[in-house]
Structure 1
Amino acid sequence: MKRINDAIEEQFQTFQILDEDGKVVNEEAMPELSDDELKELMTRMVYTRILDQRSIALNRQGRLGFYAPTAGQEASQLGTQFALEKDDFILPGYRDVPQLIWHGLPLYKAFLFSRGHYVGNQMPEGVNAFSPQIIIGAQYVQAAGVALGMKKRNKNAVAITYTGDGGTSQGDFYEGINFAGAYKAPAIFVVQNNRFAISTPVEKQTAAKTLAQKAVAAGIEGIQVDGMDVLAVYAATKEARERAVRGEGPTLIETLTYRYGPHTMAGDDPTRYRTKDLDSEWEKKDPLVRFRKFLEAKGLWSEEEENKVIEQAKEDVKAAIKEADNVPKQKVTDLISNMYEELPFNLKEQYEEYKAKESK
């Protein structure tokens, strides 16, 4: 059995296109992206890094609620989303708000989601997505169902979902990939392996050498990708999507990435479980630095262009938080009326009680 396990693990080598210096090390795997598309990808990564910085500042000011930092995971998040089509359906985890924004969720609604406002969970017409799932791994089962629905309706689209390495320890993870595999549902399951879940090292979560190899037991395709290499992430997702719409079933993509900040802004202290040496090691793999070097070598990016993106992001955040502030405050009666189409008798009493309080 050990020889069998070793042979399986040996098959899951990390897929990479750009090294840490932004140099191409896998020319054959280079995706067919135009210069404009490459620049757009960089624009989104820079914009999202600034959005993260501003969101952290707003959280500390008490102007946002729950927030999970994204710095370090831009290549994993945006490389996957960039490979999608408008009709594809996103089922995100709580750290995956950037994918929703680039899929069409207005920025002010992302801020309202953070505040727990119901308007932040209302997707605009044409934006195929669920609001971020807080329960760890639950979106994997949901994604299998959405993907099967697409297959039954003969839609030329996929469902993509995300979780972290900690999510692979949940039963929903296995149920989701197994169900999707059994029905060859057009799903893409992304595991963003940032090594520590909330605070537990991935080595203590599983005896498996990779998380990608868990696809073997479900009979689906699996691949481990350098999650700090946006081109590798994009290429792997693009191929997974093409396989899915051809009817070849789902793919499990493990992206090796790192969150530079805490798990969430709700009191997590990463210095208690991560060393400075490890942080420094992963800072050298920064996805923005790597891709910037690649684009600069091709003459496609400059400091001036990056500064324009930074300023635009800051202006957009300022406008969006103002718009979020102008949305009427959520009331208890909103919560009650949104829960049921027809209120049960006990909630009717409470509704009238709170309605009277709110009218004063």
Structure 2
Amino acid sequence: MSGSGVPAAEFEVEEVLLAAQSAIGGQQGPAPEMLQVLAPDGTKADGLTAEIAGEVVDFAPYLAATDAAHLRSLYRDMSLIRRFDQEATALQRQGQLALWVPLTGQEAAQIGSGRALQPQDYAFPTYREHGVALTRGVELADILRLFRGVTNGGWDPRERNFHLYTLVLAAQSLHAVGYAMGIQRDQLADPSLPQAASVAYFGDGASSEGDIHESMVFAASFDAPVVFFCQNNQWAISVPAAVQARVPLARRAEGYGFPGVRVDGNDVVAVEAVTRWALDRARSGKGPVLIEAYTYRMSAHTTADDPTKYRLSGDEQAWQPRDPLVRLEAHLRAQGLADDAFFDELAAEARAMATALRDAVLSMTVPDLESRFATVYAEPHPLVQEELRFFQQYEAGFADEGEQA
């Protein structure tokens, strides 16, 4: 133990992080204004305006209804997806899922942005957007099918305009821009089509990938109707955001010639308003927007990760009071918009959902081997057929050993 009472291993982590940030000088230049509707204690924040690309933007007209029903529905979505996250984590720890990617702490960023989408918009997620999936009507059990390894996809993306999860960092940003450019051409061919946009979700770590740079270049060059939604959860697995970027992430948009805006990613009301503005701007032909949702990953990067190896416990404790659910609950209670009965009923609904999900996972069957090989190509392929025969012989060899024993 160090003299301060901080464990030696944690003290060494702190020294390493401080040295790394000092070596590159940390982030430079003014940080963009943090857009916020609800303060961490649930009280109303002052105003919702910001200067973006030399223009003062008032986001108030983009606020969705702030009546009790709407705010309670936002809280319900965040509460259910957190319970889903907890159940999935438990299932993985019990050996029922191969891996899990938690979202705890990022509920407001995902639910707020997802609720801003219109049916004709198309979302391209990474592997953590379980909250956005909920808002698009994806069956949560289908997400768990993917992490249990019994499906190559999990759902039909065309049914909900919600793409399959992308595990290759930043690849979905290229897909989102290409899709947005396709939207442009479809609408030129048929002006009666509804205006639409695509959204590329990614994290602060993925923002350092070349695919993000390339997609933003193309999006700017063609004024593509795409919104880049970066969930800055402060850590790219083990590298802090201050080491990844010399300037605040929202300001990177300036280099590409389109607006960048930073929103309090733990304020679901603000996230919904800012995303609605960005989508409206993109749909109307004014080009792309970068949103930086400033939030925090309260849990591990995945269940294969141990954040205590690189992150200070004090950081997590400092973010606890900013919890998106605690914030909205405080507002609902203070304004008399929800009572104990509402929260009790929601807790019961969440428990029932978790039980149903567990039952669904345990009843999932593994597809037969032939079907796995049959879905590699649309048509039969001689090399794949040869590999199937080899694997069948390989498995048969084990069966013979078992019979002899």
**TM-score over 0.5 for the pair:** yes
Q: In the alignment, does 2:168 pair up with 1:135?
A: yes
CA distance in 2, matches of 1:44, 1:149: 31
Matched, 1:194 2:233: yes
Q: Distance in 1 between matches of 2:389 and 2:297?
A: 46
Shift of 1:317: 2.7
8 Å Cα contact 1:191-1:254 kept in structure 2? yes
Alignment partner of 2:196 out of 157, 176, 188: 157
1:167 aligns with 2:206: yes
Structure 2 gaps, min length 5: 1-27, 49-58, 188-193, 400-405
1:319 to 349, 353, 356: 356
d(CA) in 2 for partners of 1:11 and 1:98?
28
Opposite residue 206 of structure 1, the aligned amino acid is A
Contact 1:51-1:314 within 8 A present in 2 as well: no
Q: What one-letter code is carried by the residue in structure 2 that aligns with 1:23?
A: T
Which whole-Å deviations, capped at 9, do the CAs of 1:275-295 have from their partners, x for residues lacking one?
122111100111111111111
**Match in the other structure for 2:308:** 271
Does the Cα contact within 8 Å between 1:147 and 1:187 map onto a contact in 2? yes
Aligned to 1:62: 95
Alignment correspondent of 1:223 = 261
Equivalent-residue separation in structure 2 for 1:136 and 1:340 (angstroms): 24
- Opposite residue 193 of structure 1, the aligned amino acid is N
Deviations 1:84-116 (A, max 9, x none): 112211110111122112211112101101113
- Deviation of residue 248 (structure 1)? 0.8
Q: For residues 12 and 27 of structure 1, do their structure 2 counterparts lie closer, same or farther at Cα, with a shift above 3 Å needed?
A: closer
What is the distance in 1 between the residues matched to 2:303 and 2:109? 21
The answer on whether the counterparts of 1:158 and 1:244 sit within 8 Å (CA) in structure 2 is: yes
Q: Is the 8 A contact 1:215 1:221 kept in 2?
A: yes
Q: Does 1:32 align with 2:64?
A: yes
Structure-2 separation of matches of 1:123 and 1:346: 28
Larger Rg: 2
- Secondary structure of residue in 2 paired with 1:72: coil
**Are 2:278 and 1:240 equivalent residues in the alignment?**
yes
Single out whichever of 20-29 and 68-77 deviates more from structure 2: 20-29
Question: Cα 1:83–1:291, aligned 2, differ >3 Å: closer, same or farther?
Answer: same
Which residue is 2:296 aligned to?
258
Describe the superposition over 1:92-151 as per-residue Cα deviations: whole angstroms up to 9, x where unpaired.
011112211221111210110111322643326521121111011111111101111112
**Distance apart, 1:346 and its partner CA:** 2.2
Q: Which amino acid in 2 is paired with 1:77?
A: Q
Partner amino acid, structure 2, of 1:319: A
**SS of alignment partner, residue 191 of structure 1:** strand
CA distance in 1, matches of 2:301, 2:346: 26
Contact 2:157–2:164 (CA under 8 A) maintained in structure 1: no
Unpaired runs of at least 5, structure 1: 1-7
Q: Which amino acid aligns with 2:176?
A: A
Q: Aligned pair in 2 of structure 1 residues 186, 124: CA closer, same or farther (>3 Å)?
A: closer
Cα distance, 1:298 vs structure 2: 1.9
1:275-331 Cα distance to aligned partner (Å, 9 max, x none):
122111100111111111111122112233123222212212322332344343133
2:378 aligned with 1:346, yes or no? Answer: no
When structure 1 is superposed on structure 2, of 37-46 and 341-350 the one drifting more is 341-350
Aligned to 1:85: 118
SS at the partner of 2:269?
A: helix
Asked if the contact 2:181/2:225 (under 8 Å) is kept, the reply is yes
- Report if the CA contact (8 A) 2:83-2:354 is conserved: no
Separation of aligned partners in 1, 2:361 and 2:160: 19
Could you give the per-residue CA deviations for residues 262-285 of structure 1, whole angstroms, max 9, x where no partner exists? 11001x111222212211110011
Alpha-carbon distance between aligned partners in 2 of 1:236 and 1:9, rounded to the nearest angstrom: 23
Q: TM-score, normalised by structure 2?
A: 0.82
Q: Shift of residue 160 of structure 1?
A: 0.9
User: Which of the numbers 218, 227, 243 marks the counterpart of 1:179?
Assistant: 218
Deviation at 1:230, TM superposition (A): 1.0
Scaled by the length of structure 1, the TM-score of the pair is 0.91
Aligned partner (choices 337, 341, 346) of residue 304 of structure 1: 341
Distance apart, 1:157 and its partner CA: 1.5
Q: What residue number does 2:148 align with?
A: 115
CA contact (8 A) 2:78 2:131 kept: no
Q: Secondary structure at the match of 2:159?
A: coil
Length, aligned pairs only? 350
Superposition CA RMSD, Å: 2.0
1:333, 1:354 within 8 Å by CA — same for their partners in 2?
no
Other-structure match for 1:72: 105
CA distance in structure 2 between the aligned counterparts of 1:139 and 1:25, rounded to whole angstroms: 34
